[in-house]
Homo-oligomer: A and B are copies of this chain.
Amino acid sequence: MEKKVKVAVVGASGYSGEELVRLLLKHPYVELTAITSRANAGKSIGEVYPRFAKSELSFCNPEVAELAKLAEVAFLALPHGLATEYAIPLLKAGLKVLDISADFRLRSTAKYEEYYGAPHPAPELLKQAVYGQPERYRKALKHADLIACAGCYPTSSILPSAPLLAHKLVSTEGIVICSASGVTGAGRKVAENYIFPECNESFKAYGVVGHRHVPEIEQELAAAAGVPEIKLNFIPHLAPFNRGINSTLLFNLMPGVTLDDVTNVYHEAYADEPFVMVLPPKKCADTKYVTMTNMCQIGYNIDPRTDKLIVTSVIDNLTKGASGQAIQCMNIRLGLPETAGL
């Protein structure tokens, strides 16, 4: 592998952007050629992130045309809506685009409008977008020029659910997902709710009805189950730690399903996956085991009194839940070793 791939991170000032920079600076097959930021344009990376001060990169704010000359691959770590504004011309200019925003995750423009409060900004691109979750769409990702990287809560929810639904071990009815995220999950958002003394020694639910990740999770679980629609409850919580998501999922077991059945299905699905780890039965996952890794770890147990399967699933929200998974998708698209740089 002589020539390195030139890569740009568009919107490198948020936590996902920073995580992309952290990983890409050490990626053996990548040259990070541009990191953009309106607010920080002109500043060296060390000024903004002293952690990276040994790098000589500076933030820039180039025209798209210029950006297209600098890079072959662009990661968009931008707010939804704005991501589309960059995706359209970058795709036209021939770049591979990996979008970390929500713009191309939902296949239904109606759902997009319902949850994001505006018409979809580029419905014509939806057909070519591939959902960026390698364990489910590896084949399609090999040829995708627009990759809609999976969301953080959805990744932690879909990976443990999909094999169970695909093998009909659990019902599509009555699924409950209780998740807790570290505060980087809110992005680098400067608001009173997120200052340290308000988050520290605090634990709370939020967005318990109508969270924007609901349709994304439902779409992918329905696809896995092979049914037109699933309706579930997803309840996110904010917890006082930096990185990580734990999702605890409750499923109604189909009659006669045993713990061994679950073990078998999970092992078949994930034994060869480099970034999914199935724990021994009855163990619970712990966010700390995956912090700053691209792993998803899954635990499971059956409550025979209620015939529920209880699954716990953890990821680092910035890595497997965003930037790491995006790089995993890029590796697949470019034919690189899937674990390179991760």
Q: Which residues of A contact B (CB under 8 A)?
A: 15, 49-51, 53-54, 174, 176, 178, 180, 182-184, 188-192, 194-206, 208-210, 231-233, 235, 237, 239-244, 246, 248, 250, 274, 277, 279, 282, 284-293, 295, 297, 299, 301-303, 305-306, 308, 310, 312, 314
CA distance A237 to B299 in the complex (A): 14
Residue of B nearest to A180 (CB): B203
Question: Contact at A233–B250, with CB atoms within 8 Å?
Answer: yes
A233-B303, A291-B201 known; A183 and B209 CB under 8 Å?
no
CA distance A301 to B233 in the complex (A): 12
CA distance A291 to B288 in the complex (A): 15
Question: Contact at A203–B242, with CB atoms within 8 Å?
Answer: no
Question: Contact at B242–A239, with CB atoms within 8 Å?
Answer: no
11 more A-B residue pairs beyond the given contacts A204-B246, A204-B284, A208-B284, with a C-beta to C-beta distance below 8 A: A182-B197, A188-B195, A188-B197, A189-B195, A203-B246, A203-B286, A205-B248, A231-B306, A237-B246, A237-B248, A292-B292
What residues of chain B lie closer than 8 Å to A205, measured between beta carbons? Answer: 246, 248, 284-285, 299, 310, 312
What residues of chain B lie closer than 8 Å to A195, measured between beta carbons? Answer: 183, 188-190, 194-196
In the complex, what's the smallest C-beta–C-beta distance from A253 to chain B, in angstroms? 12
Question: Contact at A285–B204, with CB atoms within 8 Å?
Answer: yes
A190-B192, A202-B287, A277-B54 known; A310 and B208 CB under 8 Å?
yes
A195-B189, A197-B188, A305-B231 known; A241 and B288 CB under 8 Å?
no
Residue of B nearest to A286 (CB): B204
A190-B195, A233-B306, A248-B178 known; A301 and B200 CB under 8 Å?
no
Question: Contact at B51–A204, with CB atoms within 8 Å?
Answer: no
Partner of A204, one of B54, B184, B282, B312: B312
CA distance A310 to B234 in the complex (A): 10
Residue of B nearest to A247 (CB): B205
Question: Contact at A232–B306, with CB atoms within 8 Å?
Answer: yes
What residues of chain B lie closer than 8 Å to A308, measured between beta carbons? Answer: 233
Question: Contact at A310–B233, with CB atoms within 8 Å?
Answer: yes
What residues of chain B lie closer than 8 Å to A184, measured between beta carbons? Answer: 197
CA distance A60 to B250 in the complex (A): 39
Q: Most B CB atoms within 10 A — which of A195, A231, A293?
A: A195
